[in-house]
């Protein structure tokens, strides 16, 4: 699967422009635990969901980068863990001809947007296959998260992961 911008021809000469390619998308790590099953299936109450989202970026060689979008979803009910689902969805992306600022923005926003549908499907499948009602991850605004990360960097803080607490059905 390749998504790429093409060079622009101006005055009869091909001028190299910035190019973005998706080289590979794959699951790097996956885990599902239901430590209190089957007893938890009979529990009554309102489950609590806690989602942790993180992203890692590494340069592989030249203009190739590995971007990993990690999601950990923990569901608890009456102070017991119902399930814990973890997925690290990864991709190898080629980014050529971008200035440093745009490269950072592409790695922090565009690449996770490409990976998100895959991680969302994996999390949903894990939970459903575990015998629980489906969990539908809501869309994530990676541009806003990136902007927050830039703000934190400017203030000298670390900002590698985001935790989102949600209510829902187990």
- CATH code for the domain in which residue 77 is found: 3.10.420.10
Kindly state whether residue 146 falls inside one of the protein's structural domains.
no
Kindly state whether residue 151 falls inside one of the protein's structural domains.
no
Which residues on neighbouring strands pair with residue 86, listed in sequence order? 31, 72
Cβ–Cβ < 8 Å for 58, 28: no
Kindly state whether residue 16 falls inside one of the protein's structural domains.
no
**Single pTM value for the model:** 0.80
Kindly state whether residue 69 falls inside one of the protein's structural domains.
yes
Specify the number of domains making up the chain.
1
Kindly state whether residue 77 falls inside one of the protein's structural domains.
yes
Domain, as residue range, for 45: 24-137
Convert the pLDDT of each residue in 77-136 to its tens digit.
999 999 999 999 999 999 999 999 999 999 999 999 999 999 999 999 999 999 999 888
User: Would the pLDDT of 12 be above 50?
Assistant: no
Q: Which residues contact 3 (CB under 8 A, 6 or more apart)?
A: 20, 21, 22, 114
Convert the pLDDT of each residue in 28-71 to its tens digit.
999 999 999 999 999 999 999 999 999 999 999 999 999 999 99
Kindly state whether residue 40 falls inside one of the protein's structural domains.
yes
């Amino acid at each position: 699967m390749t998504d790429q911008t093409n060079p622009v021809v101006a005055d009869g000469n091909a001028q190299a422009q910035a190019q973005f390619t998706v080289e590979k998308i794959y699951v790097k790590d996956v885990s599902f635990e239901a430590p209190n099953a089957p007893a938890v299936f009979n529990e009554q109450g309102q489950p609590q969901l806690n989602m942790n989202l993180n992203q890692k970026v590494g340069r592989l060689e030249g203009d190739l980068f590995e971007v990993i979008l990690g999601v950990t979803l923990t569901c608890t009910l009456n102070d017991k863990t119902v399930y814990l689902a973890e997925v690290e969805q990864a991709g190898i992306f080629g980014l050529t001809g971008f200035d440093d600022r745009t490269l950072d923005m592409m790695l922090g926003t565009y690449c996770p947007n490409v990976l998100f549908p895959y991680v969302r499907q994996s999390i949903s499948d894990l939970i459903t296959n575990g015998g629980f009602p489906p969990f539908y991850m809501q869309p994530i605004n990676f541009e806003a998260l990136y902007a927050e990360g830039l703000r934190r960097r400017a203030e000298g803080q670390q900002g590698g992961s985001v935790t989102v607490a949600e209510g829902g059905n187990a």
